[in-house]
Structure 1
Amino acid sequence: MGAGHDAVAGELERRLAPHGVEVSVVDVLDLVPLRLGHALRRAYAGAIRSAPWLYAAIYRAFFVSRRPGPLRPPPPSPLTALIAARLQRRVRELPPDAVVSTFHVAAQAAGRLRRAGGLDAPSLVLVTDFAVHRMWLHPGNDRYLCPDKAAARAVTAATGRPATMCAPLVPPEFRRPGVRNGRDVRDLPEGRERLRKASGAGPDEPVVLISAGAWGVGRVVEAAGVLSASGRYRPVVLCGRNGHLRRRILGTGLAPALGWRDDVAELMAGAYALVDNAAGMTCREAFACGLPVISYRPIPGHGRDGALAMARGGLSVYAHSPAELVEALDRLEDGALRRTRAARVDALFSAESAERTVCAALG
């Protein structure tokens, strides 16, 4: 739905190219007839922006197991059957040696097709959520690649299929040697200078990035207000492609507001922390840069559950109130705390790479 799933697929394609692997990236929503897939995307975006309570209700009804206990795969759906039929046409036109899903609807369709005998190649699922919901799960898939060991255990228990942890698929510009092993990102003068110019911050003013994702959603105006009122941190809001949000924030005078940027890695390299609300690709990019992450007012459903999962794993902090947000930022002055959290994040990147697992499946 958002840009994160596309980014993961694109990065996997880039990494497989040196191995001589030809990749065809398919948007699963293009497989829905009459452009209804794009209507679903617009409806999802509208719910997240204007009626988050509606998406929360949909998430509880369809994405979360209704009975207590471990995760269970969802029942078959007409939409999945329709997409699987369209996917079968594609694999007949260009028979693959492996199929990799980076979106949960794709995982349902590929798993269904594999189990029904319409797909001869191995079907792998690259889970992009720290909190695995049941829409990712289908026992027809051959293997799951998960963001951490807890997610892998939950997937295997639910599907009976092998599931392992794999390193985040983050572009190389984010994973710099100078920010590994807990080095403080404030020690990177080039990134700090670039961010200072973009934000208008003073030379010693800590700059905190606030991410609204590619669509520019969530309660980021509130977050900017909290940081601005603290008098201790300079907020800068990354508004993605939401021009309306950018104009709104600039009109308040609370913080600089940036549109879609191609230099996010450089901005992160000079920031003090990231305030995030979706637990998605931006968090992984921050992890790669060594930038501490604080979740605040996450979007409902997978955003909230992902924020909770990251906090449980010691990868980030979940701030439930304005006071907790400022307190979490204040605690980052503790170098030992930063190093401890950075060590947990580094463990993510020491896991086996997704491209290596995919190449093994290709034989």
Structure 2
Amino acid sequence: MKRYLIMTASIGSGHIKAAEAIARELRAADAEAIIEVVDFMSRGVSTLHWLLKKIYLLMLAFVPDLYDRCYKFSGGGAIGTLTQDAFALVMYHRMARLIDAFSPDVVICTHPFPEGACSLIKRLSRRRFRLVAVLTDYSLHQIWIYPRVDDYFVAIPAMQQGLIARGFPADAVHVTGIPVDRALLRLPEKRRARELLGLAADAPTVLLMGGGLGLGGIEAMLDELEGIEGRLTLLVIAGRNEDLELAIRARVATSRHALYVWGFTQRATLLMRAADLLVTKPGALTVSEAFALGLPTVLHDPIPGPEEENAVYATQHGASLWVHPGESLAEAVRRLLENPAKQAALSRGARSCARPDAAREIVSMLTDSEDDSNKF
């Protein structure tokens, strides 16, 4: 009976979504396996980790380029390695207690913090387990690169090549895509999705998202979209940003468009299916879900660093439009809604990038490999 410990982090929702997708596929593949998904940055796991997360998110609200600074600071060389070692050391003892309590055969990390702590545990102790990293972006960064990782699962071939160039064996680096919930493939068609949501069947429908934290200047976007004369159906997911949700609800009665808002919701993918167009920050999981649905996207305000790289990837592959600072979001949306041929081209580009079976591929490689945890 195999024991799988899946370590993730609630910094945004993407890392958790990837972990949950893998857990679902593991349960389907091995009904007898013992599987635990742990949010490494939750208060229940560590008050220190939780406080670090809260401080980071608070600072991000006041210093928008904070992530960019951290991303570049930790991006390589001696300083990058020192930063990694510091995080791993801070989180070592809590991770070690989790390992001792669960006794996993395999630890799967969808965030680099627990990955680094696990790498250090394998280095400094006699604990033996297979350490797996599932990278949840479309670019490679030093913060994910640790010794004693037995398998890397990455989104695109360029990331595989980067890891091999850094000395990882080719047979330990697998290009699978980013894990998404395969339930995306079972969603109803667009008209039925709108019916289920109580939306107008034929109105141009635009979904606005800012990730699980409700970031991305959604109120400013709504101000711009009010300038579009034709009546739209606007769907907004505010995530866990309660202030944003309340502010948008206050707009419903006065908007020229049919405006709907949700907080954190399990219906996000149904809302994506109902939309003609998604306007969003380029978080990797959101982009990957849009790829799987063939949903055209308009990307804006990426957090400097990996989100910019995600936007580059999506636009280079003809799956998205990227509205840069100084450009009109409303104009981009209007032109796209008036151009069905362009929408269809973006949809084809998205589908060409889609890897909806990523989680299943990862699980297949893990469960089909030799059952010999001692080699790790």
Q: Superposed, which structure 2 residues align to 1:16-27 within 5 Å?
A: 16-18=26-28, 19=30, 20-27=32-39
How many residues of Structure 1 are paired with residues of Structure 2 in the alignment?
345
C-alpha contact (below 8 Å) 1:32/1:82 kept by paired residues: no
Q: Give the percent of matched residue pairs that are identical in Structure 1 and Structure 2.
A: 23
State the 1:210 CA deviation. 0.7
Q: Which runs of 5+ in 2 are unaligned?
A: 1-10, 372-376
Q: Superposed, which structure 2 residues align to 1:119-130 within 5 Å?
A: 119-130=127-138
Counterpart position of 2:366: 358
Go from structure 1 to structure 2 and tell me whether the alpha carbon gap of 1:32 and 1:301 turns closer, same or farther (over 3 Å shift): farther
The correspondence for 2:179, drawn from 169, 179, 183, is: 169
Root mean square deviation, CA, Å: 2.9
The answer on 1:43 being equivalent to 2:55 is yes
State the 1:157 CA deviation. 2.2
State the 1:154 CA deviation. 2.0
**What letter matches 2:15 in structure 1?**
H
C-alpha contact (below 8 Å) 1:11/1:171 kept by paired residues: yes
Distance 1:23 1:98 in 2: 10
Go from structure 1 to structure 2 and tell me whether the alpha carbon gap of 1:329 and 1:165 turns closer, same or farther (over 3 Å shift): farther
Counterpart position of 1:244: 243
Secondary structure of 1:248's counterpart equals helix
Q: Superposed, which structure 2 residues align to 1:67-86 within 5 Å?
A: 76-86=84-94
Q: Bigger shift: 246-255 or 209-218?
A: 246-255
Distance 1:336 1:33 in 2: 46
Q: Superposed, which structure 2 residues align to 1:73-112 within 5 Å?
A: 76-112=84-120
Secondary structure of 1:213's counterpart equals coil
Distance 2:87 2:350 in 1: 42
The correspondence for 2:76, drawn from 65, 77, 82, is: 65
**What letter matches 1:193 in structure 2?**
E
Distance 1:30 1:138 in 2: 23
**What letter matches 1:318 in structure 2?**
W
Go from structure 1 to structure 2 and tell me whether the alpha carbon gap of 1:17 and 1:220 turns closer, same or farther (over 3 Å shift): same
Go from structure 1 to structure 2 and tell me whether the alpha carbon gap of 1:42 and 1:335 turns closer, same or farther (over 3 Å shift): closer
The correspondence for 1:283, drawn from 284, 287, 290, is: 287
TM-score (norm 1): 0.83
Distance 1:48 1:329 in 2: 33
The answer on 1:305 being equivalent to 2:312 is no
Secondary structure of 2:117's counterpart equals helix
Q: Which runs of 5+ in 1 are unaligned?
A: 179-186
State the 1:36 CA deviation. 1.3
TM-score (norm 2): 0.81
Go from structure 1 to structure 2 and tell me whether the alpha carbon gap of 1:278 and 1:177 turns closer, same or farther (over 3 Å shift): closer
State the 1:335 CA deviation. 6.2
Distance 2:68 2:44 in 1: 24
Secondary structure of 1:55's counterpart equals helix
State the 1:159 CA deviation. 4.8
C-alpha contact (below 8 Å) 1:294/1:316 kept by paired residues: yes
The answer on 1:349 being equivalent to 2:356 is yes
C-alpha contact (below 8 Å) 2:319/2:348 kept by paired residues: no
